[in-house]
Structure 1
Amino acid sequence: MKKFEEKTIRTETIYDGKVVKLQVDDVTLPDGKTSKRELIKHAGAVGIIPITKDHKIVFVEQYRKPLEKSLVEIPAGKLEEGEDPLVTALRELEEETGYTASSPKFITSFYTSPGFADEIMYLYMAKDLEPIEHPAAGDDDEFIELIELTLDEAKQYVKDKKIHDAKTNYAILYLQTLERM
């Protein structure tokens, strides 16, 4: 038995959508009592930190409906079923920025909200950007604008809460760490 494991007694799927699946599990707790857990199941996602030849970071600004505002973020997207995260990273880089990269570097992976979701985010960095003459089209319902910032400008965006999501903040912290090495 795993430490603090909660055994699932019953699972009820509430919603099975394009991006997430919502389920409610009845569980037995380590002390023998029972409880309910509301869970979001997600295929996983990828974020990529694109760095131009003049050392600027390529971000996308897009409207985020749950927040009712726009955020500036690193390019990212959902994994397709069975898709390698590197393939997703290159696809999102092309669709969202019009660039490709010959050798993106895997940085890390992390869970985005482990208290209620199983989404894992894979993070890559690409420094060898090349523009694509005819890039693949992005999602029909996605409207984005490209923004190129220096690391110092990106840190100011964090202070101003224009950059305010976990994956992009993680990316900026990572780049700050590299700068200090």
Structure 2
Amino acid sequence: MSKFEEKTTRSERIYEGKIINLKVDEVLLPNGHSSKRELVEHPGAVALVALTAENKLILVEQYRKALERSIIEIPAGKIEKGEDPAYTAMRELEEETGYTADKLELIQSFSTSPGFADEVIHVYAAIGLKKSESGAVLDEDEFVELMEVTIDEAEDMMKDNRIYDAKTAFAVLWAKQKLLNENSTYPKL
């Protein structure tokens, strides 16, 4: 129990959607006062740091309606109900990129927006990449362009905001550090 814990005294779900649910909780604050919290419930997601044999990072460009523009990201996707995150990661890697991996290594799991959402994203390193026989198989409402870039090119994309999301910025910095550090504790890709 945390000294800052907020005890929920009432909770009302106000929206149930395909990807998210919204609820409003009334909470009792540590000082005895009450407040309201508007919260997003999300099933979680996965993302992949996939480096080719030439140390190029596999990225996808896609339109993000919330931002009203396209951004460049690492491959990622929502965890389906009952799905293990590692399974989701393998599925999303092949669906979005047309690549498969011999294995995955969990790099880090983290909260994306803890001020209002419970989403946790699991970032994996895809090890032993190879092109799949089927190629990319996108959802009917998914439109992406695949690209392979150097870490320097990815850093330039961060500088000019083509890479604009936290998971991809994290992935670029992790990949750069991994490539710079020969004694890395992470497996060789």
Aligned residue for 2:103? 103
Cα distance in 2, alignment partners of residues 172 and 101 from structure 1: 19
Residue 178 of structure 1 deviates from its aligned partner by 1.5
Counterpart CA distance in 2 for 1:137 and 1:122 is: 22
Work out the CA distance in 1 between the residues paired with 2:108 and 2:82.
19
Q: In structure 2, what is the Cα distance between the partners aligned to 1:157 and 1:16?
A: 36
**Could you tell me how far apart the structure 1 residues matched to 2:136 and 2:145 are?**
16
| 2:185 is the counterpart of 1:171 | no
Identity of aligned residues (%): 55
**In structure 2, what is the equivalent of residue 121 of structure 1?**
121
Report whether the alignment pairs 1:138 with 2:138. yes
TM-score after normalising by structure 2: 0.93
Letter of the 1:153 counterpart = E
Q: Which residue of 2 aligns with 1:88?
A: 88
Structure 1 residue 21 corresponds to structure 2 residue 21: yes
CA distance in 1: counterparts of 2:105 and 2:20, whole angstroms? 28
Q: Which moved more, 1:129-138 or 1:107-116?
A: 129-138
Counterpart in the other structure of 1:37: 37
SS at match of 2:54: coil
Query: Matches of 1:9 and 1:57 in 2, distance apart?
Result: 47
**By how many angstroms is 1:37 displaced?**
0.1
Aligned residues: 181
Please say if residues 51 and 128 of structure 1, whose CA atoms lie closer than 8 Å, have aligned partners that are also in contact. no
- Name the TM-score, length of structure 1 as normaliser: 0.97
Report the AA paired with residue 27 of structure 1.
V
List runs of 5+ in structure 1 lacking aligned partners: none
Instruction: Assess if the C-alpha contact under 8 Å between 2:49 and 2:175 holds in 1.
Output: no
Residue in 1 aligned with 2:150? 150
Q: Deviations over 1:15-48 (max 9, x none)?
A: 1101100000001101110000000000000000
With over 3 angstroms needed to count, the CA separation of the structure-2 counterparts of 1:136 and 1:178, relative to structure 1, is closer
2: CA distance, partners of 1:85 / 1:74? 16
Q: C-alpha distance in 1, partners of 2:103/2:133?
A: 19
Shift of 1:152: 0.6
Matching residue of 1:50: 50
Following the alignment from structure 1 to structure 2, what is the Cα–Cα distance between the partners of residues 175 and 94? 20
